[in-house]
Structure 1
Amino acid sequence: MTPRDDSESPGTGRSRWSDLDRPPLNATALRRGLVREGALWREVEVVQRTGSTNSDLVARAAAEKLEEGVVLVAEEQTAARGRLDRRWVAPARSGLFFSVLLRPREVPVERWGWLPLLTGVAVATGLARAAGVDTALKWPNDVLVTVGGEERKTGGILVEATGDGGVVVGVGVNVSLRADELPVATAGSLALAGAVSTDRDPLLRGMLRALEEWYGRWRGAGGDAGACGLQEAYAAGCATLGRVVRAELPGDRALVGEAVAVDGDGRLVLATEAGVQEPVGAGDIVHLRM
């Protein structure tokens, strides 16, 4: 009797690693391309399967007193989380799921709210270069693509404090998901958006290099998003600005208005029907119309 491979998909007899359209990441090549003297990235680890790269890296940072620049990538996540504890579900090797440890000591904590926006700009920049696909950013942490003339979410960003002066930034991007694999109707993928490449190695390198570049600029400016060009770059790529939106705020409060700006603290500014401009620093944003 042949032993059963625990990696087989139930009822199929096929290993979840046998999809030739979804080859594994080349960890050695990633390290060679990203880890170098003077670079931000000092360690790149690729694991086959885990619950959440964010949870793993937060726990490891606390236990090992890690310096910044550690990157943890998973071929598959079983308990991935987005904002508001939403689940992120995707087949193995169908996307890029990674977390990075940062310690922006030169930046006042009150400016750390720019980190998810900065990461969004880096993700959009890296994907545009490596995948040749147009992306847009939904405040504060979603990456959008156009599929069949409709905006679809293809990526998300989650930032968590480590408790010892650091932050873990997690990124999830749907790369090769097919239409019948999408978890919800509003989801999308790079493949469905017509990407010229879904090779995950250059996509990951592109995003991490862009993140290193933007993080260096922002940190060098002491977190001043205006001075380093981040505020302008985010506004240029933000699909939320100019839209009428509903902000679902903590405490079951909602606010409707036109998104007119992202202020110096990274907050979304809404112009309401009452004629006032109100900044929103946290909440869920729903695009209502163009």
Structure 2
Amino acid sequence: MTPQNPSDDSRWSDLERPPLNAAALRRALTRDDSLWCDVEVVQRTGSTNSDLVALAAAGDADEGAVLVAEEQDAGRGRLDRTWTAPARSGLFFSVLLKPAGVPVERWGWLPLLTGVAVATAIARAAGVDTALKWPNDLLVTVDGKERKAGGILAERAGTDAVVVGIGINVTLREDELPVPQAGSLALAGAISTDRDPLLRAVLRSLEEWYGRWRDAGGDPAASGLQEAYAAACSTLGRTVRAELPGDRALVGEAVALDGDGRLVIATEEGVQEPVGAGDIVHLRPA
């Protein structure tokens, strides 16, 4: 992979936020038996997802390619939302996956799988309990309130690949938050905010879950993914409002996750409706 790597004269300006050690990450992660074949770290880019999708389209990236940016100035979330943060304040990276042998209709589980993998890794490496807000938000507790500390965005790259982007706020301080409802691992009381071991933990957890899911042919039940996601999902059991395409809204209790990864909402009218896309608002605690 050869993404753009513009120089950054302020690279060492914040000693509390040292740069990632690309060579050490590559040595630790790109073993012969590993999913990860390449780990590239760039100082600044627009969006690691956009870059990796372009590299995949050009045939310049294989499955297991990892692209990390110390800073993004055009990071994207779902529904075309932007994701920005100070340089080296978080982990902003994308991975290329080619789930051969898994039916395409099950590829929608990949962002949910990534959420489970990230939450598991953060608990182990940073000591922070992370909840999952359906479909792709990572929530931590700061001063007794749930706040978004990360997000996941999956995009198709051609007919045989998916690029999954992950953003995690690690050392973001209160005065640096883009919105009041944002959070970070540091604000949630992380026992460690060293990004190198955290990134290694996330990628190893993702490799483990991806392998389990792929070996099961993408079956979310047989792989244990459906159960694991439901256990970590803070949306289930809550009254929610789903803001759906076409300016339609649906209010009810989030009661289950179906076999396609859709959120099942039970309305006051007694109807259970699966939601596959939309913005979910938590209206009250579980």
TM range (shorter): over 0.9
Structure 1, residues 50-83: CA drift from partner, whole Å, max 9, x if none? Answer: 0000000000000125321000000000100000
Is residue 2:182 matched to residue 1:187? yes
Counterpart residue number, 1:126: 121
Q: How many residues align?
A: 279
CA contact (8 A) 1:49 1:75 kept: yes
Secondary structure of 2:96's aligned partner: strand
Secondary structure of 1:64's aligned partner: coil
Structure 1, residues 128-172: CA drift from partner, whole Å, max 9, x if none? Answer: 110011110000000000001100000000000012310000000
TM-score for both structures, normalised by structure 2: 0.96
Question: In the aligned structure 1, how far is the partner of 2:140 from the partner of 2:61?
Answer: 35
Is residue 2:158 matched to residue 1:167? no
| Larger-Rg structure | 1
Question: In the aligned structure 2, how far is the partner of 1:66 from the partner of 1:45?
Answer: 11
Question: In the aligned structure 2, how far is the partner of 1:17 from the partner of 1:86?
Answer: 29
Counterpart residue number, 1:150: 145
Question: In the aligned structure 1, how far is the partner of 2:108 from the partner of 2:159?
Answer: 17
Question: In the aligned structure 2, how far is the partner of 1:16 from the partner of 1:67?
Answer: 29
Q: Which amino acid aligns with 1:227?
A: A
Q: Which amino acid aligns with 1:28?
A: A
Percent identity, aligned pairs only?
A: 79
1:91 pairs with one of 70, 86, 89:
86
Q: Which amino acid aligns with 2:128?
A: V
Unaligned runs of 5+ in 1: 1-5, 9-14
Secondary structure of 1:123's aligned partner: helix
Question: In the aligned structure 1, how far is the partner of 2:8 from the partner of 2:24?
Answer: 25
Structure 1, residues 210-239: CA drift from partner, whole Å, max 9, x if none? Answer: 000000000000010000100010011000
Counterpart residue number, 1:286: 281
Within-5 A mapping of 1:238-249: 238-249=233-244
Counterpart residue number, 2:3: none
Counterpart residue number, 2:4: none
Question: In the aligned structure 1, how far is the partner of 2:244 from the partner of 2:100?
Answer: 30
Question: Structure 1 pair 43/7, CA: closer, same or farther in 2 (3 Å)?
Answer: closer
What is the root-mean-square deviation in Å for CA atoms of aligned residues?
1.0
Counterpart residue number, 1:202: 197
2:69 pairs with one of 52, 61, 74:
74
CA contact (8 A) 1:159 1:169 kept: yes
Secondary structure of 2:204's aligned partner: helix
Deviation of the 1:29 alpha carbon: 0.9
Secondary structure of 2:283's aligned partner: strand
Question: In the aligned structure 1, how far is the partner of 2:77 from the partner of 2:129?
Answer: 23
Deviation of the 1:16 alpha carbon: 5.2
Structure 1, residues 237-274: CA drift from partner, whole Å, max 9, x if none? Answer: 00000000000001111101100011111000001111
Question: In the aligned structure 2, how far is the partner of 1:67 from the partner of 1:78?
Answer: 25
CA contact (8 A) 2:109 2:260 kept: yes
Counterpart residue number, 2:26: 31
CA contact (8 A) 1:244 1:289 kept: yes
Deviation of the 1:7 alpha carbon: 4.4
Secondary structure of 1:112's aligned partner: helix
Question: In the aligned structure 2, how far is the partner of 1:278 from the partner of 1:144?
Answer: 25
Unaligned runs of 5+ in 2: 1-6
Question: In the aligned structure 2, how far is the partner of 1:123 from the partner of 1:174?
Answer: 12
Question: In the aligned structure 2, how far is the partner of 1:144 from the partner of 1:271?
Answer: 23
> Where does structure 1 differ by over 6 angstroms across 4 or more consecutive aligned residues?
none
Counterpart residue number, 1:64: 59
Is residue 2:253 matched to residue 1:258? yes
TM-score for both structures, normalised by structure 1: 0.95
